[in-house]
Amino acid sequence: MKPIELTKADFIQKVGNFEADPKDWKYIEDKPCIVDFQAPWCGYCKRLDPILEEFAQTYEGQLYIYKVNVDNEEELETAFNIRTIPTLLLCKMDGTKELMLGTLPKHELKKVIDNLISVQ
């Protein structure tokens, strides 16, 4: 399984309606997720892609991994104040959300994911 590409409409349906309440929107899925804000021309994003693809398979059924192309989805880029790519939005099941800027080594990202799926 690969990360799922999201448009703004998909984001609202699958992740949460950030337009209705920009400061306190609720994550709506049944498993935690990572949203990768990226662009196809970004070198760091290209390095992160195969790692996220691997984790999408490894953690299938435990979390969702989404991708947002900031070149095509400027409203999402603006709404989440994305200034650096890649930026990862982590949505936990306890309702907390966190933005992580830049890339992490694979083993560090695995720790982040393990923590993400352990939060109820």
Q: For the chain, what are the domain ranges?
A: 4-118
* Confidence at residue 79, expressed as pLDDT on a 0 to 100 scale: 94
Query: What pLDDT was estimated at residue 119?
Result: 79
In the chain, pLDDT over 70 holds for what percent of residues? 99
Residues 6+ positions from 2 with CB-CB distance below 8 Å: 53, 56
| Residues in a beta bridge with 88 | 36, 100
**pLDDT for 14:** 95
Respond yes or no: is residue 91 known to be catalytic.
Answer: no
- The CATH code for residues 4-118 is 3.40.30.10
Q: Active site residue: 12, 42, 51, 104, which one?
A: 42
pLDDT digit string (tens) for 62-105? Answer: 999 999 999 999 999 999 999 999 999 999 999 899 999 998 99
- The rounded mean pLDDT for the chain is 94
The one catalytic residue among 6, 45, 56, 116: 45
Establish whether 45 is a catalytic residue.
yes
Closest residue by Cα to residue 64 from 25, 8, 16, 20 = 16
Helices (H), 15-105: 43-58, 74-79
